[in-house]
Amino acid sequence: MIGEKKLCAQCNKEAEVVDVKPSNGNEIQVLSCGHLMETPQSTYDAIADLPSAYETISAASKQINSLNDILLLVDKSEMSPEEKSKTKEILSLVDKEKDSKTLSQIKSSLSPLKIWLTVAAPYVNLLLNLIIRQ
Ligand SMILES: [Zn+2]
């Protein structure tokens, strides 16, 4: 990004990015000291996407008051139909057992769905936060 401070590897001093030029999928940053710095575009994009994804979840979690709100969020997500349905299955199971079972008992009833827990984890966390708040 223009205006960003970078440590120039060639003069080993902090310099400001004065220009950014795309090159073969990479990004060349022109530093105020006159040196150039190459950044792979894909890495750059992945890092730039992180805060916004986090903000979406955290902003959304403020408006979540029930399991239904989380299920709606699952529907709106980019997951495949199978991932959505397994995530909902996990959420319903946790919700159903939360009053009568301990967390470790809930975990053992989730073991047949274990391979789906990675995709479902952010939503399960939202549900757990909800349970803790109540
Ligand atoms: Zn330099």
18 falls within a domain: yes
pLDDT digits (tens, 9 = 90+) for 113-124: 888 888 888 888
Q: How far is the CA of 20 from the centre of ligand 1 (A)?
A: 15
pTM of the model: 0.53
Separation of alpha carbons 132 and 99, rounded Å: 12
85 falls within a domain: yes
55 falls within a domain: no
pLDDT digits (tens, 9 = 90+) for 39-98: 654 444 444 444 444 555 555 556 677 889 889 889 988 899 999 999 999 999 988 888
Q: Which domain holds residue 23?
A: 5-47
DSSP 100-118: TS-HHHHHHHTGGGGGGHH
Please state the φ and ψ torsions of residue 18, each to the nearest 5 degrees: -100, -20
Q: Are residues 43 and 77 in the same domain?
A: no
Q: Are residues 67 and 129 in the same domain?
A: yes
Q: Are residues 34 and 94 in the same domain?
A: no
Q: How many domains does the chain have?
A: 2
In the numeric block, which tokens belong to residue 25? Answer: 């999928």
In the numeric block, which tokens belong to residue 89? Answer: 């299955």
Q: How far is the CA of 16 from the centre of ligand 1 (A)?
A: 10
Type and span of the H or E element at 67: helix 67-76
